[in-house]
Amino acid sequence: MSEMVKLTIDGKEVEVPAGELIIKAAQDHGTYIPRFCWHPRMEPVGMCRMCLVEVETPRGRGLVTACTQRVADGVLVDTKSDMVKKAQEGVLEFLLINHPLDCPVCDRGGECPLQDQTLSHGPGESRFVEEKRHFEKPIPISDLVMLDRERCILCARCTRFCDEISGDPLIEFIDRGNYTQVNTFPDEPFASYFSGNTVQICPVGALTATPYRFRARPWDLEAVESTCTMCSVGCRVSVQASQNQVLRLLAVDSEPVSHGWLCDKGRFGYEYLRSPARLAAPLVRGEDGELHEASWGDALATAASGIKDVIDRHGPSAVAGLGGARSTNEEAYAFGKLLRSVIGTGSLDARIGDAIDPVLLATGESRALIGDLETAKTVLVWGPDLKEELPVLYLRVRRAASALGATLIVIHPRSTGLDREATHVVRYRPGEGAALLDRLGKGEGDLAAVRAALDEGPVVAIIGRGGLTEAPGLASAVAAFVAGLPGASILPVARRGNVHGAIDMGVAPGLLPGRVAADQAGRDTLGEAWGTPVPAPGRDADGIIEGLADGSVRALIMLGTDPAADHPHRARATTAITAAEFVVSLDLFVTDSNRGADVILPVEAFSEVEGTVTNIEGRVQKVNRVAPGTGQSRPAVEVLGDLASRLGGSLGGPADALAKEIAEVAPAYREITWDGLAWGEGRDGLVAAAPDGGLPIPEPGELTGPPVAGMALHLGRVLYDAGTMVTAGPSLEKVMATPAAHLHPDDASRLGVTEGIAVTVKSRSGEAVIPAIIDSSLAPGTVYVPFNFGLDIGADPGVEVVPVTGGEP
């Protein structure tokens, strides 16, 4: 507990931690001091002067800015004296001399701090009769953000955010004096993954987001608090809708997770919800071999009879389920129960061959919380490029390293967004991770310093799959190594929305709901609760795909999953699904994966259903409903329940009933109820934890494959890939990245490749022609290609790269 000091604010004596800023101390004790530039998550600058208060100290009385002045024992603070009022009026009169007062056409009107504080603290009129300064009205500073410099009050919140928080200072104060303006460099737009945060924290309408501009008035919006499900960080959000359409997401500060930030994919990704391509009615394959709209009754009947037919002829283990990683926990639970209890198959997986061992995701050994980054001495990131895959976790790690002084170690096959902040950057050739781990353990050569840093606890290690050609077991080996260090804890990560929740709900062959191993004892206990036997573990995602291809699996049920895009060997996955005898898909869209399905059932999505999701640290948080789904879409829980009853079983009711059931049968989720999760001040979800210490870190299995033929392929993800969430929304589609083959300069010159020319990347699975980029951060002999752009190069460790003859830049 830090030392406390006593001071008086507006005649009320309060006790606050020493070193607190007056503005914060006052706020915590019920006195709101007006402000523009101060933001609780950023360093104070004292630029706008709006927060002036009168203080009396032994050295006399005077005005100070409450956002820069720290509390001291015995100080008297007056936030409402005549002197303060006069100062506030003066500051506002100044701030408004150049302000265009175009509130009626400003998006911020109605929720604008400048408007509000002018009303509450302003002078009511201005003595300024001169010409205001003029700038071209809103200019696009990126594909997502517009800037109206006339409205800007130069508080520097946006520029400080970029410099301090996100680390990409692409906007700055340009020129000076009366001409000072926020702007970008002439030909370098504000292409930050976090740009939307500046729009939210701008205290005026100077920065606006193109997806929301002129869509609504704040007072017409209906809002619910919820959790972003675009990735597994699980940032707290307010989802705001009007006339049954989600129109924007705002960040809500949560101390343990998001610190009030969102990434742009999370913030602007909601547009897919109202994509015209979204399914509005069930589709059933007719006699003519085409998909036709059908009634729910017919579609469910067809789905049930198709599945039943396969069970009758080939037994329940010929049915398998893929998906759940984009669903709520309740949906995933229902999916698992349908497959295991009603159908009787043990083949199910929420991962699509791209994540790490589910047991590692569910392990109870040495688990870290995101919040542990605040006190970590050393942070190790060995896994994905966090900026591309788990953006707000990147912000938290960046903060640990840049503001809190942690030693950051980044281990990845190429440069990552965190390298600038890192004390140690270690790069390696994909496939050589196990050897590197071995050398790191011994602290050999150049790794001695890194090893030494790992001995400086507390250590938090964020561990995941660095690339899709990496042996999935490597993460388990790294985890086991780190867990053996004194004072070290691990945060195993997989990216997709609610994959952690789906694994916790037992959507993996070896796991049952609540982080229980699917061994005999676990299955018996669950079977008793369910009143049906629980089958032995069946196939995982890769096994299911193999089984579909060789005919040992005949029917597939997909819940919001797109293996044709997301499986590392997409061609293999597509062929397998096409070979399936009977496919039922619950989805929002027709995708390459379900195009050949027999029945497609439209389900409700994020913001349309109520439920819970679980983030990377195991924090269970609420998602809420604010709008209905498109057309006849129904909640997946209901659809799965209807399927179950048509198959002669039962799942246990709607989502809230399932939530209660989960709290009973899933040990790690005991005591976690919707009531306990309801959002509110200081309520930030609950962390699931297995009561008995949980599962140990799994054995890594085979880590080194046969020597790589040709060049080693590194397949990594980028934030704006060609996934449905990006391509189905007009705003994110604009910022979608384009794939390229990154080569080390040595390889480039050996192959005669120059920047920008077309090269063919060939693997056993197929080939793709993409432009080359020279990338000296790669190890020689490696080629990096971003994943999920529909390229058919598979995920074999070795590829060949040849320049296309006559391949012009």
Partner 1 sequence: MTWSPATSERADAIVARYPERRSAVMPLLYLAMREEGRLTDEGMKEVGDRTGITAAQVLAAASFYTMYKREVGRHLVSVCRSISCHLLGSEAVLDAVADETGVPDGETALDGSLSVESVECIGACGGAPAIQVDYEMVEGMTPDSARALVRWLLDESPEVIRSDDLQGRFGGSPSFDPGPVDPVGAIGPFPAFGPYGTAAT
Choose the one of partner 1, ligand FES, ligand SF4, none that binds residue 206, judging by a C-beta under 5 to 8 angstroms depending on kind.
ligand SF4
Which residue lies nearest ligand FES, judged by its C-beta? 67
Specify the DSSP element, H or E, that contains 241.
strand 236-242
Q: Is the CB of 52 or the CB of 239 nearer to ligand FES?
A: 52
Does the protein bind ligand SF4 through residue 152 (CB under 6 A)? yes
Of the two residues 495 and 515, which places its CB atom closer to ligand SF4 in the complex? 495
Q: Give dist(CA 162, CA 169) in Å, integer.
A: 5
88: left (phi over 0), alpha (psi -120 to 50) or beta: alpha
- Residue 598 CB contacts under 8 Å (≥ 6 apart), including other chains: 284, 285, 302, 303, 306, 582, 583, 584
Instruction: Between 204 and 715, name the residue whose CB sits nearer to ligand SF4.
Output: 204
Q: Retrieve residue 291's tokens.
A: 């998909």
Instruction: In angstroms, give the least distance from the CB of 10 to partner 1.
Output: 39
Could you tell me the CA-to-CA distances from 502 to 476, 505, 605, 664 in Å, in that order? Answer: 19, 5, 15, 17
Residues 501-560 that bind ligand SF4 (CB under 6 A): none
Query: Judged by CB under 6 A, does residue 259 bind ligand SF4?
Result: no
Q: Is residue 496 involved in binding ligand SF4 (CB under 6 A)?
A: no
With CB cut-offs between 5 and 8 Å by kind, which of ligand SF4, ligand FES, partner 1, none does residue 570 bind? none
Among 207, 250, 491, 511, binds ligand SF4 (CB under 6 A): 207
The total of other beta-carbon atoms located within 10 Å of residue 487's CB is 15
Residue that the structure tokens 């602290």 belong to: 443
Report how far residue 425's alpha carbon sits from residue 417's, in angstroms, rounded to the nearest whole number: 11
Q: Least distance to partner 1 from the beta carbon of 135, Å?
A: 15
Nearest to 150 by CA among 182, 127, 186: 182
Q: Which residues contact 680 (CB under 8 A, 6 or more apart)?
A: none
Binding mask 99-138 for ligand SF4 (x = CB under 6 A): ----------------------------------------
Helices (H), 152-222: 157-160, 195-201
CB 37 within 8 A of CB 155: yes
Partner from ligand SF4, ligand FES, partner 1, none contacting 67, C-beta within 5 to 8 A by type: ligand FES
Residue 425, contacted partner among ligand SF4, ligand FES, partner 1, none, CB below 5-8 A by kind: none
Helix or strand run (H / E) with residue 772: strand 767-774
Does 154 help bind ligand SF4 (rule: CB under 6 A)?
A: yes
| Binding at 158: pick from ligand FES, partner 1, ligand SF4, none (beta carbon under 5-8 Å per type) | ligand SF4
Residues 6+ apart with CB under 8 A from 439: 445, 447
Minimum distance, C-beta of residue 114 to ligand FES, in the bound complex (Å)? 12
Q: Per the structure block, which two tokens stand in for 462?
A: 């964020």
Owner of token pair 């955010």:
161
Taking the complex as a whole, the smallest distance from the CB of residue 68 to ligand FES amounts, in Å, to 6
Region near ligand SF4 per CB under 6 A, out of 387-395, 467-475, 627-635, 694-702: 387-395
**448: alpha, beta or left, given left = phi > 0 and alpha = psi -120 to 50?**
alpha
Q: Minimum Å distance from CB 175 to partner 1?
A: 5
- Complex with ligand FES: residue 38 or 589, whichever CB lies closer: 38
Hey, what amino acid is at 304? A
Residue of 33, 51, 145, 263 that binds ligand SF4 (CB under 6 A): 263
DSSP-derived secondary structure for 331-350: HHHHHHHIIIIII----EES
Out of 99, 265, 387, 424, the residue judged to bind ligand SF4 by CB under 6 A: 265
Query: Residue 237 carries which side chain, given as an amino acid letter?
Result: V
End-to-end CA distance of the chain: 62
Shortest distance, CB of residue 91 to ligand FES, whole angstroms?
9
**Of the residues 26, 53, 114, 171, which one makes contact with partner 1 according to CB under 8 A:** 171
Which positions lie near ligand FES, rule CB under 6 A? 35-38, 46-51, 65, 67
Which of ligand SF4, ligand FES, partner 1, none sits in contact with 230, Cβ below 5 to 8 A by type? ligand SF4
Asked if residues 376 and 460 have their Cβ atoms less than 8 Å apart, the reply is yes
Least distance (Å) from ligand FES to the CB of residue 720?
34
Q: Are strands 52-57 and 378-382 parallel, antiparallel or unpaired?
A: unpaired
Residue closer to ligand SF4 by CB (options 237, 300) is 237
DSSP string, 644-667: HHHTT----SSHHHHHHHHHHH-G
Query: Nearer to partner 1 by C-beta: 189 or 780?
Result: 189
For residue 169, the partner it binds in partner 1, ligand SF4, ligand FES, none, with Cβ less than 5 to 8 A by kind, is partner 1
Distance, in Å, from the CA atom of 156 to the CA atom of 169, rounded to the nearest integer, reads 12
In 383-515, the DSSP E strands lie at 407-412, 424-427, 459-463, 488-492, 511-512
C-beta closer to ligand SF4: residue 172 or 592: 172
Structure tokens at 770: 């993409």
Q: Which of 45, 97, 174, 403 binds partner 1 (CB under 8 A)?
A: 174
Residue 169 vs 730, nearer CB to partner 1: 169
Residue 202: contacted member of partner 1, ligand FES, ligand SF4, none (CB under 5 to 8 Å, by partner type): ligand SF4
* Residue among 198 and 731 whose Cβ is closer to ligand FES: 198
DSSP sequence for 726-749: HHTSHHHHHH-----EEE-HHHHH
Query: Quick check: 136 binds partner 1 (CB under 8 A)?
Result: no
Q: Which is nearer to ligand FES, 32 or 179 (CB)?
A: 32
CA-CA distance, 222 to 702, in Å (whole number)? 52
Region 229-248 residues binding ligand SF4, contact defined as CB under 6 A: 230-231, 233-235
Q: What are phi and psi of 320, to 5 degrees?
A: -140, 160
CA distance 400 to 393: 11
Residue 266 found at the interface with ligand SF4 (CB under 6 A):
yes
Q: Rank residues 154 and 526 by Cβ distance to ligand FES and give the closer one.
A: 154
Beta carbon nearer to ligand SF4, 230 or 411: 230
Among residues 7, 202, 406, 626, the one that binds ligand SF4 under rule CB under 6 A:
202
Structure tokens at 458: 């507390």
Residue 247 CB neighbours (<10 A) = 20
Measure Cα distances from 570 to 15, 542, 594 in Å.
Answer: 61, 11, 13
When CB distances are held under 5 to 8 angstroms depending on the partner's kind, the choice from ligand SF4, partner 1, ligand FES, none that residue 32 binds is: none
Query: Counting Cβ atoms within 10 Å, is residue 94 exposed (0-12), middle (13-18) or buried (19+)?
Result: middle
Among 95, 106, 170, 320, binds partner 1 (CB under 8 A): 170
How far is Cα 519 from Cα 510, in angstroms, rounded to an integer?
Answer: 8
The verdict on 156 binding ligand SF4 (CB under 6 A) reads yes
Q: Residue type for 620, please?
A: V
Site residue total, partner 1 (CB under 8 A):
15
Contact 672, 663 (CB under 8 A): yes
Interaction of residue 381 with ligand SF4, rule CB under 6 A:
no
Per-position x/- string for 178-207, each x denoting binding to partner 1 as judged by CB under 8 A, each - no binding: -----xxxxxx-------------------
Nearest distance from residue 688's CB to ligand SF4, in Å? 17
Whether omega before 458 lies within 30 degrees of 0, making that bond cis, reads: yes
Applying CB under 6 A, among 5, 21, 182, 507 the residue interacting with ligand SF4 is: 182
Q: Six-digit token pair at 765?
A: 């699975």
Q: How many amino acids of this chain bind ligand SF4 (CB under 6 A)?
A: 26
Stretch that binds partner 1, among 168-176, 235-243, 349-357, 371-379 (CB under 8 A): 168-176
Residue 97 CA to residue 132 CA, distance in Å, equals 7
Residue numbers of the site for ligand SF4 (CB under 6 A)? 152-158, 182, 202-204, 206-207, 228, 230-231, 233-235, 262-263, 265-266, 390-392
Residue numbers of the site for partner 1 (CB under 8 A)? 168-176, 183-188
